[in-house]
Every structure is written in C-alpha cells, then in structure tokens.
Amino acid sequence: MTFLALDVGNTRLKWAQYDLPAPGAKLLAQGAVFLENIDRLAEDEWRTMPAPSRILGCIVAGDAIKRRVAEQMELWDVAPRWVVPSVEEAGLSNGYDHPARLGADRWVAMIGAHHRLLARGSRKPCVVVMVGTAVTVEAIDAAGKFLGGIILPGHGIMLRALESGTAGLHVPTGEVRDFPTNTSDALTSGGTFAIAGAVQRMVENVTRHCGETPECIMTGGAGWKMAPSMSVKFELVDSLIFDGLLEIASRRFAA
C-alpha cells in the first residue's frame, strides 16, 4: 500500500514515496525535478519505483503542466488525486473569500503545520512561511482558523524584475549584509530583507490579533537561504507539504 505524494510548484516538482498514506509513514524514496525535466520522470526516476497504490498531490503550476505530470504517471494503473482547498479539512478552517482559489500548496502546508503543533500539544497561533518561486506568509489562529496570508515575489522574481526594469542592475549574486556597499550585495540583501521583514510584520499582526506570539514554521526550496537572515524565531521544516499530504491522505484513503 505505498503512497506517492506530489508537490508541483512553479519551479519544481517534488515527490516522495511512503509505505502508507498516513502521518508517520516511512519515507521510501524522494526527489525533485525542475519543470522543464518532468517529461523524463517515467523513463528515469520513476521507472524502477514500485507502483504506488495511491497518489495525492498539490499543484499550482497550471493545467498544461498538470497534463504532463499525469502523462508520466500513466506508468502505473492508479489515478492521481489533487487537493482542492475547501472550507474545512483535517481540522483547519479556511478564511479565504473563495476557499478554492487559495493555492493548494498553501493549504496543504498549513495543514502540515497545524498538525505539527497539535502533535506536540501546542495550542498557539501559527505563521507558515513558504519560500519558493513566490513567497507566501500565512496566519492561523489557535483554534485552527486560517485568517489570511500574503504573497510576495521570491528571490529570483525580485531580481529578474529589477534587472528587466532598470539599466544598471545586471550584476552577479551578492551577499546579505546589514549595510551593503555594492550593487550585488544591495540587491541580494534587499530581496532577503523584504522576505524577512514581511514575515516579521505577519508575526506582529498575529500577535496583535490573537494576543500571543505565534509559532513560526518555514518551508520551501529557498527556505535554507532565508534561514540565516530571519528576524523572528522559526523552525525550518522541509517536509511540511508532504506532512500535510499525509494528513489529508490518511482521511481520504481510510474508507
């Protein structure tokens, strides 16, 4: 009864195979491919993998990519299921104006974070940070209600936007410095502080709204880049989306 979990973002497809569709399942294999390489999964990394009996994923990369991913999975005789954010799932309630318009990856990461706190008996509000192609920063109250969240450009998009909108900002990647004194460092530090500052602001918003300091959980392909520059206390959890998918899968596939 192996389970394949998928997280298809705007830059990469991440996958993980578990022995069961349930929290705490054993990780059997995992990988990540840039979207330009997804057409090779079936002949490459997935070729020798035992056929999964269940597949659940979240995808925000659009229908064309979704079709290409589905094609790779024709290797097995199992239909993939994709998470669509709803009003309520796995103990989390969705405060978005139109719940289904929330990015599925955001919803799944929040479910992963909520259950991580529940598992250690914490009943605190939570801020969930995802640093991928875009950056999202979500607020969840102590009762498990998603209050709302922000979307901002990721490192790469910020840099490309500045490069394409100006004449004098084509420079190599720099270092994060408190007081940058060259263009490379100024750009790298600017992007990093924009993200760190947005997280700090959301932590302040939640603290004011909920009357207590939230836990902060960070994930995403570029989370490690942000880690040294954060101004609030946080925990880096690379598997957050997969943890959320395991929670959802255990409910959907139980019957």
Ligand X SMILES: Nc1ncnc2c1ncn2[C@@H]1O[C@H](COP(=O)(O)OP(=O)(O)O)[C@@H](O)[C@H]1O
Ligand Y SMILES: CC(C)(COP(=O)(O)O)[C@@H](O)C(=O)NCCC(=O)O
Q: Which residues bind ligand X (CB under 6 A)?
A: 9-12, 132-133, 154-156, 220-222
- Which residues, numbered 97-116, are part of the site for K ion (CB under 5 A)? 105
**Which among 17-25, 44-52, 126-134, 177-185 is the span making contact with ligand Y, rule CB under 6 A?**
126-134
How far apart (Å, rounded) are the C-alpha atoms in residues 81 and 252?
10
CB distance 76 to 107 below 8 Å: no
Cα distance from N-terminal residue to C-terminal residue, the chain:
14
Distances (CA, A) of 30 to 45, 89, 228, 251, 254: 9, 25, 26, 22, 23
132 binding K ion? (CB under 5 A): yes
98 binding ligand Y? (CB under 6 A): no
Q: Is 8 annotated as a binding residue?
A: yes
Q: Is 238 a catalytic residue?
A: no
Q: Which residues, including other chains, have CB under 8 Å from residue 19's CB and lie 6 or more apart?
A: 1, 2, 3, 25, 26, 28
202 binding ligand Y? (CB under 6 A): no
Q: Is 183 annotated as a binding residue?
A: yes
Environment class of residue 111 by beta-carbon count within 10 Å: exposed (0-12), middle (13-18) or buried (19+)?
A: buried
Binder of K ion out of 4, 9, 73, 116 (CB under 5 A)? 9
- Determine phi and psi for 28, rounding to 5 degrees: -100, -35
Edge to edge, the sheet with strand 12-18 lists 27-34, 12-18, 3-8, 54-59, 81-82
Q: How far is the CB of 254 from ligand X (least distance, A)?
A: 28
Of 25 and 109, the one with the shorter C-beta distance to ligand Y is 109
Give me the catalytic one of 97, 105, 178, 238: 105
Contacts to ligand Y by CB under 6 A: 9-10, 60, 101-103, 105-106, 132-134, 136, 151
Annotated binding site for substrate: which residue ranges? 96, 103-106, 183
Contacts to K ion by CB under 5 A: 9, 105, 132
Annotated binding site for ATP: which residue ranges? 7-14, 133
Residues marked as catalytic:
105
